A and B are shown apart, each in its own frame.
Chain A
Amino acid sequence: DPKIIQKPKYLVAVTGSEKILICEQYLGHNAMYWYRQSAKKPLEFMFSYSYQKLMDNQTASSRFQPQSSKKNHLDLQITALKPDDSATYFCASSQDWGLAEQFFGPGTRLTVL
């Protein structure tokens, strides 16, 4: 059974719209993260959360807003979508914030037209 679930797997959106990427982890971890991989770029860190609190934000734009309704959920809301937002978005988790070993979900591939 998958331990980190990301939904949907593929997502197509139009410029200017808003989407929410879902992430749930069933590893019992206390820290969760978002990373993004754009075309021809390495995975880039976006956010880290610990016990539902924001620990680190490396995203310049306020259009990206994580939402944590439960400790094992960390969704990513993206507003006013742009074609440059097209990327695969990975959710990850670790037992606690500050631990190196992170486990990744399968990603959501977002295409903005």
Chain B
Amino acid sequence: AQKVIQVWSTTSRQEGEKLTLDCSYKTSQVLYHLFWYKHLLSGEMVLLIRQMPSTIAIERSGRYSVVFQKSRKSISLVISTLQPDDSGKYFCALWEPATGGNNKLTFGQGTVLSVIP
């Protein structure tokens, strides 16, 4: 069974719109981390946001923010005021600690975003 699920495989939006990308995950660990990465057309994989379960506040980084619902095991990436440079593939990832789990990142399928100027 997939541990990290991103529902949309592709999506397109107009420049200036706001976008929410959903991600759900499965873990029995208490100390885990969640990440959103962006895979650029150049090949670079950029870390956008990191979320820990102990953090209640919404994490923000520039135009990126997350909505974290711990009880639902859900983390959504919100991109405000889309720009063409936001086009790329977005990955949600779950990190679980080595003790009792695997010290690795488990990724969702990714969502390809196209922003139309």
Residues of A within 8 A of B (CB): 9, 33, 35, 40-45, 48, 55-56, 58, 90, 92, 97-98, 100-107
A48 touches B109 (CB 8 A): no
For residue B88, CB closer than 8 A to chain A, the reply is no
Given A42-B4, A42-B109, CB of A9 within 8 Å of CB of B43: yes
A107 touches B43 (CB 8 A): yes
Q: Is the interface of A mostly helix, strand, loop or mixed?
A: loop
Given A43-B91, A98-B98, A101-B47, CB of A56 within 8 Å of CB of B103: yes
**Which of the residues B35, B50, B102, B107 comes within 8 Å of A42, measured between beta carbons?**
B107
* Residues on A with beta carbons closer than 8 Å to the beta carbon of B33: 100-101
User: Smallest CB–CB gap between B8 and chain A, Å?
Assistant: 14
Bound: A32/B95 CA distance, A: 15
* Residues on A with beta carbons closer than 8 Å to the beta carbon of B43: 9, 106-107
